[in-house]
Structure 1
């Protein structure tokens, strides 16, 4: 018998409970270690008047609207109206180390034969992967592109090659600001401080983008030449 979970399907008609290695999904952080085979147990409660035909259990991890890992296990069973069914199965995420790292939002779903989600649970997963995983490489790529964006904007500023229009100069700094926000979100995830989520992503990305826009807007006009020392001496005389 599974321990009750506090997370349920949003519509309330079909309820899903799950645990991994005896720990309820939705309570605390779900540890996913690619070196260990996990035992997954689920219970589907059908409170509707229609039979539910479960075909697949999916465990997936996403960040920034991208799916970085997904495991589908075929566990076919039917849940009659006003009843419940439980199943358990092993999960061997041996390749997880090459896919993700750090804190990520994780979803457990039961899916029917038409590939439609019957019910789902969401939690925060602690993925014990490698820095050279797909997610880690994605973060490093964003870091490099962000550095190049800042370098390009600042070099253009130093050489007075920015557009004369203030808003155009601001837009030149925008990609660097967005990249900075993305780097912050990914870094906090990899360091296991904050998992990516809309509430965490939006403030960082929007805040960094706004700061970069403001910086570009207040940069000096490229046609505004600073007076030379000789001109300054002549003005003083």
Structure 2
């Protein structure tokens, strides 16, 4: 899908029921990480007789698509009836020729910045020995950075047109990165206990 070109869309709706299905609108939407980044509704009214199929073609001009999405995204095509109910749908993968500064691209950059800040905060706390003494609390300190790393991987693969976001692709990356971050936080060295106040006073007197 290129914002500079007019797309020619052709759909075939098969009616397996015993009643006429009246299609009013065809909706094309792109979704990633449970978020919808673009939607196009085109009025294409036609009837599909029982136990038969109908094919319709129509032009689609996604002129604003460049500011909405980029890379490989799951795309859903839906046939909607006069009551605004979805009567048929199919899922596919779309190659979106958008901009890095689109909504999806900006979302990915935002996740990248937050992930970098999470890693920086955790590592600085580790270097200054300010992490919690409890191992599981230290592990949880690294968890947001791990989740962010998984999200960055999923979005990057999508933008680079290598793998489209989907549950089968998202879950292994996010869960794997989160598990690695948890393990890293769990095995970090103990920050050490502070000396009791009486010992600290003794040190001050000696000095």
Structure 1 length as normaliser, TM-score?
A: 0.79
Which of structure 1's runs of 4+ aligned residues deviate more than 3 A? none
Of 54, 57, 60 in structure 2, the residue corresponding to residue 91 of structure 1 is 60
What SS does the aligned partner of 1:53 have?
strand
Equivalent residue, structure 2, for 1:126: 95
Equivalent residue, structure 2, for 1:21: none
User: How many residue pairs end up in the alignment?
Assistant: 194
> For 2:11 and 2:130, how far apart are their aligned partners in 1?
61
Of 12, 26, 35 in structure 2, the residue corresponding to residue 66 of structure 1 is 35
Equivalent residue, structure 2, for 1:47: 16
Task: Map 1:192-231 onto structure 2 (within 5 A).
Answer: 192-223=161-192
Q: By how many angstroms is 1:106 displaced?
A: 0.8
| Pairwise CA RMSD | 1.2
> For 2:146 and 2:50, how far apart are their aligned partners in 1?
52
Greater percentage in helix: 2
> For 1:219 and 1:43, how far apart are their aligned partners in 2?
58
Equivalent residue, structure 1, for 2:115: 146
Equivalent residue, structure 1, for 2:201: none
Q: By how many angstroms is 1:224 displaced?
A: 5.7
Q: By how many angstroms is 1:114 displaced?
A: 2.5
Q: Does 1:81 align with 2:50?
A: yes
Q: By how many angstroms is 1:115 displaced?
A: 2.2
Q: By how many angstroms is 1:101 displaced?
A: 0.4
Q: By how many angstroms is 1:38 displaced?
A: 0.9
What SS does the aligned partner of 2:152 have?
helix
Q: By how many angstroms is 1:205 displaced?
A: 0.4
Q: By how many angstroms is 1:78 displaced?
A: 1.7
Q: By how many angstroms is 1:219 displaced?
A: 0.8
Unaligned runs of 5+ in 1: 1-31, 226-237
